[in-house]
A = this chain, B = another copy of it.
Amino acid sequence: MASNAFGTQFRFTTWGESHGPAIGVVIDGCPPLIPLTEADIQPWLDLRRPGQSKYTTQRQEADRVRIMSGTFEGVTTGMPISMMIDNTDMRSKDYDDIKDKFRPGHADYTYQMKYGIRDYRGGGRSSARETACRVAAGAVARKILGDAIKVRGAVVQIGAHKIDRARWDWAEVGNNPFFCPDAAAVPVWADYLDGIRKNGSSIGAIVEVVASGVPVGLGEPVYDKLDSDIARGLMSINAVKGVEIGDGFATAMLSGEDNADEMRMQADGTPAFLSNHAGGVLGGISSGQDIVARFAVKPTSSILQSRQTVDAAGQEVDIATKGRHDPCVGIRAAPVGEAMVACVLADHLLRQRSIKAGN
């Protein structure tokens, strides 16, 4: 059944395969009168775009976005915003080899068993290429959120190499090909990934997304909690295997008194929290603190190293995936994670209006 859409009030639907003519997204529910042109969207796509360093896939895609509907004279009209990105650098014959083989860790086997058919070229619909549409949607979500709400992402761990959080500097994130906020970690990661890449291997990563300026009150109990929706959104990104909010899995080892984010009054008469173990969400509702979410990205499944598998005919075969792939797909997941969090926030910002206004 229908399953290619995300969100309720701010709802986007994506379409397209890795090696089809184009991919696209239709945003339904964007309020009117918001200034919006391609220039608001393209920079975010450029961050996710492949082929920009040796640490990401060498597929060359301009990822040029076109707005096909929903704006008039430079502002949104409240009508659906359709955006399209042409596919230009497809080498489908790279994939003839895996046409009938199920790559371990890939969706090949499950798609084939579920649907009885799959577009194997570049992974078809299961390709990470789909995430460009999420980034485009996220760019529109940011316009709804406004300048006061900032959603930023960073890679905080690649393999066993973690950043030093004491050196966290958001300004560094744009200065390296890893979205790394710790300048000292950059050369370490570069060396490490060079080895991974030359070895035809791949490695996992952890990404952290922080949303600041989020007002208290977003998120709806008990099933559409802000953190439930963030978890769903992040887990839906290709290769993501875990999501946590605030202290996350570490809270298992915390006592109630250590986990309590105590409150005090500020000089301006508003309350403030003394810590943020909760990651900005209490009872599924934003607390006004930074929303902090982390997600784990497994290593790219397409590797040059040979693995055992079976084919559609039931034969045991070995497989080594050719084609152009990211040695660490977690890197390019950072802008995608940001986009998903931005979309969840925009959705809940609009939802909250129906509660606050009027009554």
In whole Å, how far is A161's beta carbon from the nearest beta carbon of chain B? 9
Given contacts A201-B257, A231-B235, A242-B245, contact A283 B106 (CB under 8 A): yes
C-alpha gap A57/B196 in the complex (Å) = 51
Contacting pair A262 B104 (CB below 8 A): yes
Task: Give the residues in chain B near A234, CB-CB below 8 Å.
Answer: 231
Least distance between A257 CB and chain B CB atoms (Å): 5
Given the interface pairs A29-B3, A204-B254, the reply to whether A15 lies near B159 with Cβ below 8 Å is no
Chain B residues whose C-beta falls within 8 Å of the C-beta of A220 in the assembled complex = 1, 3
Residue among B115, B224, B244, B298 making CB contact with A259, cutoff 8 Å: B298
**In which size bucket is the chain A interface?**
35 or more
User: Taking the nearest CB of chain B, how far is it from the CB of A263, in angstroms?
Assistant: 5
Number of copies: 4
Task: Judge whether A264 and B316 touch: CB under 8 Å.
Answer: yes
Which of the 9-residue segments A38-46, A118-126, A166-174 touches chain B?
A: A118-126
> Contact flags (1/0) for A327-359 with B, using CB distance below 8 Å?
000100000000000000000001111111111
- The answer to whether A222 and B33 touch (CB under 8 A), given A1-B354, A241-B248, is no
Supposing A2-B8, A256-B305 touch, asked if A105 and B15 sit within 8 A by C-beta, the answer is no
Could you pull out 8 A-B pairs where Cβ atoms are within 8 angstroms? Answer: A5-B13, A15-B80, A79-B119, A110-B285, A130-B222, A203-B256, A256-B303, A353-B354
In the assembled complex, the Cα of A285 lies from the Cα of B126 at a distance in Å of: 11
Q: Does A269 contact B (CB under 8 A)?
A: yes
> What's the nearest-Cβ distance from chain B to residue A201, in Å?
5
| A279: min CB distance to chain B, Å | 7
The residues of B that contact A185 with a CB separation of less than 8 Å are none
Q: Nearest B residue to A72 by beta-carbon distance?
A: B119
Residues on the B chain within 8 Å of A216, using CB: 109-110, 113-114
